[in-house]
Amino acid sequence: MARFSRIRRTEEEEPELNMIPVMNLFMVLIPFLLSSVSFLHIKAINTSIPVHADRPSQTVVADTTPKITVVFEIKSDQVRISTLSDTPNDLQRSDEELVFPKQNGMDISVSAVADHLRKLKLSHPDSDTMILIPDNEVTYREIVQAMDCVRTHQSDVLFPNVVLSGSIG
Amino acid sequence: MALGQRRRSSRTFVPPKLMLTSMMDMFTIILIFLLFSFSETPEKIVLGKNLELPRSTADVQYQQALKIILTKNELLVDDKVMAQVRNQQIVGLTPETFQSSPLYRRLKEIRSNVKAEENKDEETPHVLFLCDKSHSFKTINSVIKTSGLAGYPNFQFGVLEEKK
């Protein structure tokens, strides 16, 4: 009887997995990965600067809605938005020019600027280029803020091709 | 006698069993999370204390490219110091003397090496530009203008992702 009970006891004993080597591996891997992981996510804004074109410019195809290029000038105290048209007869469009004073002389009023840009985009849906002309004193932070404002606003794509240029004259 | 025996038996050491299962679960979750965040980063960029990137709503992933880094006090091309920055001005980099600047010469050298290696009509390569947010456009313009003249007119401005 005693022999039977001993056999049953040995059958019921579960085999124990040796977890120590796995734990050791984890203890090595986790500090290594923690040291190499980056918690700051770096993203990118695509932009370019004006360059001298070697190829001849393409002929403008007559279209019902002419393409425009939005000029976004950032001054020390205000933002000036104007447009240039690709159509030779319609180069400067003074009716679409607006000036926005900066809030507290510091930041761009994003919503007001975006509303105006959205109107421009609605009237010229094929247009996607913006020339950004900051003053010399404008900081990089403000330039990036302006780029964010002109590219998209509340999931609306506005003018994603941003060309950065220095002011002339 | 009986009291003495009880005291002796209570002193016998029984090694405690560690409950490793829950710990293993926790470590597995941490490991999977870390492995995922490790694999999605194309290249590790070290942001020093002199480089504070602006925040942006941009969601484009940066690509492996030539890096121009403008910190508060240095200008670097691929981690090699090109010039010092003093009072928001890059030493030795003016619009008149850009062709003799180390930045222009270095970029020209890299551009000619890339051309010689690839020797095919690809689209113009871009530069990953990492700049401290406090710099003025005057300082930035001198760098990007020189870069454009050296054959790199397309840029990717590195920014910190802003949660929407």
User: CB of A22 within 8 Å of any CB in chain B?
Assistant: yes
In one-letter notation, the amino acid at residue B152 is Y
Residue B85 belongs to what H/E stretch? strand B80-86
In a shared domain, residues B13 and B78? no
Q: CA–CA separation, A54 vs A73, rounded Å?
A: 27
Does B84 map to a domain? yes
In a shared domain, residues B103 and B31? no
In a shared domain, residues B84 and B155? yes
Q: How many domains does chain B have?
A: 2
Does B107 map to a domain? yes
User: Closest approach of chain A CAs to the CA of B1, in angstroms?
Assistant: 31
Q: CA–CA separation, A146 vs B128, rounded Å?
A: 19
In a shared domain, residues B110 and B32? no
Does A112 map to a domain? yes
Which of B55, B155, B161 is opposite residue A48, by nearest beta carbon? B155
In a shared domain, residues B66 and B129? yes
Rg over alpha carbons for chain A, rounded to the nearest Å, is: 31
Cα–Cα separations (whole angstroms), residue A91 to A18, A83, A84, A88, A130: 79, 8, 5, 6, 15
In a shared domain, residues B35 and B62? no
CATH of the domain at A108: 3.30.420.40
Which residues of chain B are under the pLDDT cut of 50? Answer: 1
In a shared domain, residues B77 and B148? yes
Q: Is the ipTM here above 0.85?
A: no
In a shared domain, residues B108 and B155? yes
Q: How many domains does chain A have?
A: 1
Q: Tell me whether residues B62 and A143 touch, CB distance under 8 A.
A: no
Does A128 map to a domain? yes
Does B48 map to a domain? no
Does B49 map to a domain? no
Q: Tell me whether residues A140 and B132 touch, CB distance under 8 A.
A: yes
Does B45 map to a domain? no
Sole residue written with tokens 């689209």: B123
CATH of the domain at B143: 3.30.420
| Predicted local confidence at residue B157, as pLDDT | 92
Over residues A80-112, the pLDDT tens digits come to 888 887 665 555 555 567 888 876 656 667 778
Mean pLDDT over all residues of chain A? Answer: 77
Range of the domain at B32: 2-39
Does A1 map to a domain? no
Q: How many CB pairs under 8 A join A and B?
A: 139
Q: Tell me whether residues B27 and A145 touch, CB distance under 8 A.
A: no
User: Closest approach of chain A CAs to the CA of B9, in angstroms?
Assistant: 24
- A165: pLDDT strictly greater than 80: yes
Does A17 map to a domain? no
Q: A166: nearest CA in chain B?
A: B141
In a shared domain, residues B35 and B100? no
Q: Which two tokens stand for residue A89?
A: 């007869």
Interface test with A, best of B57, B124, B130 (most A CBs within 10 A): B57
In a shared domain, residues B75 and B127? yes
User: Closest approach of chain B CAs to the CA of A60, in angstroms?
Assistant: 23
| Predicted local confidence at residue B4, as pLDDT | 54
The DSSP letter of residue A40 is S
In a shared domain, residues B68 and B149? yes
Residue partners of B36: CB distance under 8 A and separation at least 6? none
Range of the domain at A79: 65-164
Residues above pLDDT 70, as percent of chain A: 72
| Predicted local confidence at residue B130, as pLDDT | 92
Q: Which two tokens stand for residue A17?
A: 């997995």
Does A133 map to a domain? yes
Q: CA–CA separation, A135 vs B157, rounded Å?
A: 18
Over residues B97-136, the pLDDT tens digits come to 777 888 898 998 888 887 666 655 556 678 899 999 999 9
In a shared domain, residues B32 and B65? no
Q: Which of residues 121-160 of A touch B (CB under 8 A)?
A: 134-141, 143-145, 147-148, 151-152
User: CB of A48 within 8 Å of any CB in chain B?
Assistant: yes
Q: B143: nearest CA in chain A?
A: A49
Chain A hits for B34, CB-CB cut-off 8 Å, are: 30, 33-34, 37
Over residues A51-86, the pLDDT tens digits come to 766 555 554 455 556 778 888 888 888 888 888 876
Does B69 map to a domain? yes
Distance of CA A74 to the CA centre of its chain: 18
Chain A hits for B148, CB-CB cut-off 8 Å, are: 49, 51
